[in-house]
Amino acid sequence: MSTNILSQLVAELSSGRIRIIDLTQTLSPEFPQISLPPEMGQCLPFRIEEVSRYDDRGPGWYWNNFSCGEHTGTHFDAPIHWISGKDLPNNATDTVPITDFVRPACVLDCSKEAAANPDFLLTVEFVKRWEAKHGVIPTRSWVLMRTDWSKRTDPAAYQNFDETGQHTPGPDAEVVQFLVHERDVIGFGTEAIGTDAGQAQYLRPPYPCHYFMHGAGRYGLQCLTNLDRLPPTGSVIVAAPLKIQDGSGSPLRVIAMVTS
Amino acid sequence: MTRELSRPKRKNPILRTRLATLPPGARSRVALGLTAAAARGAFELQVCRDCQAVQYPPREACQACLSSRLPWRVQAGDGELIADTTLAHSNDLFFRERVPWRLGYVRLDCGPTVVVHMHGDVPPAPARVKVGARLDKSGQAVLIAFPSQEVPNMADDRQLREFTCDPKFRKVLVTDGKTGIGQAIVKAIIAAGADLVWVGHAEPWKKFPGFDELKAIPQVSLMPLDLTDSKSVREIAAEIGGRVDVLINTAEVHRNFGIGNRRGVEIAQAEMDVNYFGLLRLAQEFGPALRGRAADGQSNAVAWVNILSVYALANFPPHGTFSASKAAAHSLAQCLRAEMRPAGIRVINVFPGPIDHEWNQQIPPPKVTPQALATAIVRALKDGVEDVYPGDVAQEWLERWRDNPKALERELSNP
């Protein structure tokens, strides 16, 4: 039976009736990284050094060494990332249940709101309006906040800093608690540099998405792209972080399966 | 009278770019004492501790009393030009390309008669002159006779310019314009006559104070440049490397930690990645480009400036990992100097004392202002020196270090 289902999956993929969409930004030195105040520890940006390229350093082969932080590029946040999730069981990249790596997704289109207001905050009311149209968010789903932020290819526009800090959209404190407790989501995903809004240090509590999601053992995905190519419901996300020992997160390839 | 330097014509692109040639560079170990002083901008000769006779050329034993106690002492350089001649022919490649070339003998007021190159405004012998030491394209000290009084356009003299790195009409890369230091240097180098200044800025999403002012300067071209990113350095070198005459590396990460007051190595890595590996990346990508243009006409590639720190000489434990990164950069800069010398490109290492910026907020004055540092760098280019120690603190530490490095180590570790 299971063989049949998997064969069917492969057949549907081959025929194009199930399509795979890449939700991942390319890891490149130009892609911006999260910036903390300069006196704090920083997340390394992606860097790459050539080891050899069919030359005197290695005549027949090409390869590179790369370096980056756990939270560089399109990446996964494990519950251990935040202090609220530090004592949970199976909270790190090497111990989170692998069954969580393949889950359905709901995509909430906030692109108009984010275009009008870079500090847009997702609210419970917005989610309920979405549910009235598309149905209640199923248990253990990803909730992905589409803002079209990934279309800002200029790093300065993507980061959107001014002298008061970063201005990017995210969820408010109430909606995160609603999604965790009322909808039992598996995690929250965004297109901007963090799952929380750029000004989220001024929310109560600061960085509510990190605080409540990770505190409840849920995950984060950020720097996603191509969310505009996903249906509001019905897609399946494959998001498997690198198996870093005691890792707080990891860059990863995020793909979505959708039916045509 | 020296004619004022004018903006050079654009080069003829169908002609081969000339390769660099060097004047004779061999020196005895003792003669390198003259070079050591000239590298700091000083004219020193040996003076016998026993009979006070001033020595020339440098020697192992006093020419008057055979004493071996011959410490180097600063000389005023005043003297009388007693003979001069104009070289019209030479089999030495360097001088062959530069004849006619004036040479002379000067009897210094302090005693010895020395061989000198001549500034064009020195009248025929006999004449009063002022002798100074300069580094030539081989990086070795030579003596030059200057007019006894300042004359107009003195720095523009054709022969003198073979020994200096004047930014006038040159194209300059300042690797980081985000800091007060970077911006002060950009302004000073433009005031000194630079034609064009490329200014790097990493992480372009972080708009920095002074950005708009910098952007409004007509000679300035801002470009994203991140020394931690090999690709960025490679691409910018590919784009402008063949045009840069003077490279001034202002990029720096400075944090205030020793070993014990900060867990982990990521701050030290960030310091090393910019202060040491950043220099290495720049040197690998821009070094060959500068060497290739070392004889490219009047506005040839001439100099590479590294902003190090006086902490490169001896570790300042409260800023211990920063000191270590600057010591590493100093060592690499010596390697760079060795590799640039065959082309006659001068590598200038600047060793400031504490600079007046946010990472030295809690260091008491005296601190070097960005403007003073910029002035010192322009001065160093104009004089063609190799090592500069701007600021009272740097000067004092240099003296202590030269006198007794071990003592300085102890003094710096007891704040």
Mutation site, B178, B201, B205, interface A, largest A CB count within 10 A: B205
- Predicted pLDDT at A68: 97
- The last residue of a domain, from among B162, B183, B207: B162
Nearest chain B residue to A160, by CA: B205
Enter the DSSP assignment of B153.
Answer: T
Contacts of A42 in chain B (CB under 8 A): 266, 270
* B344 and B298, same domain (yes or no): yes
Q: How far B23 CA lies from chain A's nearest CA (Å)?
A: 35
Do residues B172 and B219 make contact, with C-beta atoms less than 8 angstroms apart?
Answer: no
Q: How far A156 CA lies from chain B's nearest CA (Å)?
A: 4
Distance CA B310, CA B399 (A): 11
- The last residue of a domain, from among B162, B196, B229: B162
User: Which tokens is A65 given?
Assistant: 């060494």
User: Which tokens is B386 given?
Assistant: 């190799």
Distance CA B310, CA B363 (A): 14
- Predicted pLDDT at B136: 97
What distance, in Å, lies between the first and last C-alpha atoms of chain B? 54
Here the CATH number for the domain that contains residue B309 is: 3.40.50.720
Given pLDDT bands bounded at 50, 70 and 90, which one contains residue A228? Answer: very high
- Predicted pLDDT at B1: 81
Q: What is the dihedral of CA B203, B208, B211, B213, to 10 degrees?
A: -170
In whole angstroms, what separates CA B330 from the centre of its chain? 13
Of B306, B325, B161, the closest CA to residue B248 belongs to: B306
Q: pLDDT tens, B285-335?
A: 999 999 999 999 989 999 999 999 999 999 999 999 999 999 999 999 999
In a domain, B52, yes or no: yes
For CA atoms B53, B56, B57, B63, the dihedral sign is: negative
Mean pLDDT, residues B347-363? 96
Q: State yes or no: pLDDT of B19 exceeds 60.
A: yes
Q: State yes or no: pLDDT of B391 exceeds 60.
A: yes
Mean pLDDT, residues B217-243? 97
Q: Whole-prediction pTM value?
A: 0.95
Of B337, B305, B43, B361, the closest CA to residue B189 belongs to: B305
- Give A 155-184 residues with CB within 8 A of chain B: 155-156, 158-162
In whole angstroms, what separates CA B283 from the centre of its chain? 16
Of A111, A92, A83, the closest CA to residue A205 belongs to: A83
* B116 and B225, same domain (yes or no): no
* B193 and B140, same domain (yes or no): no
In a domain, B63, yes or no: yes
Do residues A71 and A46 make contact, with C-beta atoms less than 8 angstroms apart?
Answer: no
Contacts of A49 in chain B (CB under 8 A): 230
Mean pLDDT, residues A243-257? 98
* B196 and B219, same domain (yes or no): yes
- The last residue of a domain, from among B143, B162, B181: B162
* B145 and B212, same domain (yes or no): no
- Predicted pLDDT at A101: 98
- Predicted pLDDT at A1: 52
* B126 and B203, same domain (yes or no): no
User: Which tokens is B181 given?
Assistant: 């230091």
Mean pLDDT, residues B191-205? 96
Cβ atoms within 10 A of the Cβ of B16, count?
A: 5
Q: pLDDT tens, A77-134?
A: 999 999 999 999 999 999 999 999 999 999 999 999 999 999 999 999 999 999 999 9
Given pLDDT bands bounded at 50, 70 and 90, which one contains residue B415? Answer: low
Nearest chain A residue to B233, by CA: A29
Q: Reduced to 3 states, what is the DSSP secondary structure of residue A220? A: strand
In chain A, domain spans: 19-41+70-259
Do residues B45 and B54 make contact, with C-beta atoms less than 8 angstroms apart?
Answer: yes
Closest partner CB to B229 (pick from A47, A50, A162):
A47
Q: Do A41 and B267 touch (CB under 8 A)?
A: yes
Q: Do B230 and A47 touch (CB under 8 A)?
A: yes
Closest partner CB to B204 (pick from A45, A47, A156):
A156
Interstrand relation of A142-146 and A187-189 (parallel, antiparallel or unpaired): parallel
The answer to whether residue B360 neighbours chain A at the CB level (below 8 Å) is no
Q: State yes or no: pLDDT of B414 exceeds 90.
A: no
In a domain, B248, yes or no: yes
Q: State yes or no: pLDDT of A48 exceeds 90.
A: yes
Contacts of B230 in chain A (CB under 8 A): 47-50
Do residues B349 and B39 make contact, with C-beta atoms less than 8 angstroms apart?
Answer: no
Instruction: Provide the percentage of residues in chain B whose pLDDT is more than 90.
Output: 97
Distance CA B347, CA A231 (A): 60
In a domain, B2, yes or no: no
Given A81, A134, A181, A210, which residue is catalytic? Answer: A81
In a domain, B26, yes or no: no
In a domain, B148, yes or no: yes
The answer to whether residue B226 neighbours chain A at the CB level (below 8 Å) is yes
* B255 and B398, same domain (yes or no): yes
* B144 and B43, same domain (yes or no): yes
User: Which tokens is B5 given?
Assistant: 């330097």
Q: Residue B301: which residues within 8 A CB-CB, separation 6 or more?
A: B244, B245, B246, B289, B290, B291, B292, B293, B294, B343, B345
Which amino acid, A169?
A: P
Given pLDDT bands bounded at 50, 70 and 90, which one contains residue B380? Answer: very high
- Predicted pLDDT at A260: 86
Do residues B186 and B217 make contact, with C-beta atoms less than 8 angstroms apart?
Answer: yes
Contacts of A48 in chain B (CB under 8 A): 230-231
Mean pLDDT for all residues in chain A = 97
Q: pLDDT tens, B146-197?
A: 999 999 999 999 999 999 999 999 999 999 999 999 999 999 999 999 999 9
* B51 and B184, same domain (yes or no): no
Angle between helix axes B180-191 and B370-383 (nearest 10 degrees) is 40
Which fold, A19-41+70-259? Answer: Glucose Oxidase; domain 1 (3.50.30)
Do residues A170 and A145 make contact, with C-beta atoms less than 8 angstroms apart?
Answer: yes
Q: Do A41 and B266 touch (CB under 8 A)?
A: yes
Nearest chain A residue to B257, by CA: A39
Cβ atoms within 10 A of the Cβ of A6, count?
A: 10
Contacts of A44 in chain B (CB under 8 A): 266
Q: How many Cα atoms occupy the beta-carbon half-sphere of B215 within 13 Å?
A: 9
In a domain, B7, yes or no: no
Q: pLDDT tens, B78-120?
A: 999 999 999 999 999 999 999 999 999 999 999 999 999 999 9
* A81 flagged as catalytic: yes
- Predicted pLDDT at A105: 98
In a domain, B1, yes or no: no
Q: pLDDT tens, A1-47?
A: 556 999 999 999 999 999 999 999 999 999 999 999 999 999 999 99
Q: State yes or no: pLDDT of B235 exceeds 80.
A: yes
* B260 and B360, same domain (yes or no): yes
Do residues B347 and B304 make contact, with C-beta atoms less than 8 angstroms apart?
Answer: yes
DSSP B344-385: T-EEEEE--SSBSSGGGTTSPSP-B-HHHHHHHHHHHHHHT-
Distance CA A142, CA B41 (A): 68
* Sheet of strand A75-77: strand arrangement: A18-22, A254-259, A235-239, A102-109, A142-146, A187-189, A219-222, A75-77, A249-251
ipTM for this model: 0.93
User: Which tokens is B339 given?
Assistant: 């590799």
The answer to whether residue A48 neighbours chain B at the CB level (below 8 Å) is yes
Domain count, chain B: 2
Structural domain for B120, as ranges:
32-162
Q: Is the bond leading into B124 cis (omega within 30 degrees of zero)?
A: no
Contacts of B266 in chain A (CB under 8 A): 41-42, 44
- Predicted pLDDT at A96: 98
Which amino acid, B278?
A: G
